[in-house]
Amino acid sequence: MESVVDVRGLRKIYTLGQEEIGALAGVDLRIDAGEFVAVMGPSGSGKSTFMQIVGMLDSPSGGSYHFEGRDVSRLTADERAAIRSSRLGFVFQSYNLLARTTALENVELPLLYATHPVREREQIARAQMQLLGIEHLAKHFSNQMSGGQQQRVAIARALVNGPALILADEPTGALDTKTSDEVMALFGELNRERGITILLVTHEADIAAYAKRIVRFRDGLIISDRINDQQRAA
């Protein structure tokens, strides 16, 4: 099986004034294509730092990171930016939709960086929204949508470029229980039926239960990595 993410001895140290703070203390983790992995851990465990490095939004202090077989440390800033825009999809707790643009225009955004013609961008974005059952929201602005609808738009935006990996950082943190379950069922469906690789960061056990594999962080290290035999169904 081809690896999407492969990190070895990953370390991250932040310097605050005269003090050094270790966020990651030597993490080894491989995520293969088609996996659905949840990363859990208390505040300060290193899980968010790990997500930032995997998403190429931050750089490690040591160790190695290979993305789809490429050594990320050898890539230029432009090459990393190109991977972020074409091979990675991001879903955040706060949705991060642009308030003054419609749902359709928000979904189109990643395609701007890929220089698709205007008409083609709209066709691709509409097709993605249709696949997620939200095409009726195309002309809505964020203040006209519920939290669950906004998160679905954000997921469509993350998927529109056909990424190798979806990074979901506390994607249900701002949602009620029913809507959280609906969003997580959607992630499960995308993984199961479309084979999309998903890395989810959460502190909630009931949300992590949707993943096929659960990795727990503590004090910058992985303390457990197990297959989830009781995965919640979509």
Q: pLDDT for 62-78, tens place per residue?
A: 999 999 999 999 999 99
pLDDT recorded at residue 58: 95
Q: How far is CA 224 from CA 18, 29, 82, 209, 232, in A?
A: 33, 11, 33, 15, 20
The amino acid sitting at 39 is: V
Dist. CA 130–CA 119, nearest whole Å: 17
Collect all residues with Cβ–Cβ distance below 8 Å to 82 and sequence separation of at least 6. none
Range from 41-45, 111-115, 222-226 carrying the lowest mean pLDDT? 111-115
130 three-class SS = helix
Joined together, the tokens standing for residue 149 give 């609808």
Kindly report the average pLDDT of the chain as a whole number. 93
In this prediction the pTM is 0.92
33-56+75-214+221-227 in CATH: which number? 3.40.50.300
What are the extents of the domains in the chain? 33-56+75-214+221-227
- Per-residue pLDDT tens digits for 160-171: 999 999 999 999
How is residue 207 written in tokens? 């949300």
**What is the 8-class DSSP label of residue 76?**
-
Say if residue 229 is exposed, middle or buried (CB neighbours under 10 Å; 0-12, 13-18, 19+): exposed
Tell whether the model's pLDDT for residue 98 goes beyond 90: yes
